[in-house]
Amino acid sequence: MVTKSDTNSVQVEIVPSRFLMPETAQRLLCEIYKNGGIRRIMIHGPNMPREVPYGPGKGIPIEANRNLLVEIGDQAIELRVKVGRIRLEMESEDYLGGLKAACERALPFSFQFRQGKFFHDRMTTSDYAKYGKVEDERILGLIDPKAKKDKLAILSEDMVTFKEDEER
């Protein structure tokens, strides 16, 4: 069934010209969050390992990648990737002007701002295998099906929640 909210939503991808430092990522995400109208958001980028993955130093903790917390609203979320692109779905096109202005305020360098379709709107086989029957469609396609742990932060108007499952 197609509802009014499904037809008005718009999906946007923000691609900065370089990877974001944690401080810049926090500033950008806070500006985006203040703009409002977010249905779902996904942060893409290469993984930041917590320890040396191979070689003679295998297993030694990497101190530069520890405790990278990003505060959005009242909550702190651990940043596990270098932010390379941000995909989000807005409730309507009314929020696009404020979103682009928020990006211009937070990013001191150039970026690309694209509209398109970036999120699933139906459950995939991977989503079903990972979650089973999903009641909240906001999480469809937001977690890597190959990941050992599920890491999902849900931005809502009330607060930011964090979900972590055990290893499978």
SS3 of 88-150: the string is EEECCHHHHHHHHHHHHHHCCCCEEEEEECCCCCCCCHHHHHHHCCCCCHHHCCCCCCCCCCC
Q: Given phi > 0 = left and psi -120 to 50 = alpha, else beta, which region is 93? A: alpha
Tell me: the pLDDT tens digits for 83-112?
999 999 998 899 999 999 999 999 999 999
- Radius of gyration of the chain measured on its C-alpha atoms: 17
* Structural domains for the chain: 4-53+64-121 (3.30.70.260)
Give the tens place of pLDDT for each residue, 25-71. 999 999 998 888 888 888 889 888 888 989 999 999 888 777 788 88
The helix (run of H) or strand (run of E) holding residue 8 is helix 4-8
